Amino acid sequence: MEKMVRQALLYDFYGELLTEHQKSIYSDIILNDLSYSEVARAEGISRQGVYDLVKRCDKILEDYETKLLLVEKFLDTKERISRIHELATELKKMAGDKKLQENISEIEAISKAIYESY
């Protein structure tokens, strides 16, 4: 998985566990795509200070993930839901019975709704 995407997911799941200062700087770098220099100027700290804080936050967030595995479970669930949707679509093509097609359509709709809610 791309590093920035992983960092954003980790922040989404565990960001509230960071301090306000850490959240502000980390979100500016990771979510708002600002440069270290831009954030350093805005916060009145050195570029190296921003870099160090981001690295420290990366470690904190990865440690939470190592213990709780919420991102891993989330990605696994999305993958499984996607597979359910694929199978339902294939079954619908093969089904001749009208009621069976309706049931499969409902399965597709439910799996799509769950997938999109993540």
> For 79-95, what is the mean pLDDT?
83
d(CA 46, CA 7): 22
Chain segment 69-83, per-residue pLDDT in tens: 999 999 999 898 888
pTM of the model: 0.77
Q: Read off the amino acid at residue 96.
A: G
Chain segment 37-53, per-residue pLDDT in tens: 999 999 999 999 999 99
Task: Say if residues 10 and 61 touch (Cβ distance below 8 Å).
Answer: yes
pLDDT at 65 over 90: yes
Q: What integer best gives the mean pLDDT of the chain?
A: 91
Burial status of residue 97 (CB atoms within 10 A of its CB: 0-12, 13-18, 19 or more): exposed
Tokens 């309706």 -> residue? 102
pLDDT at 1 over 80: no
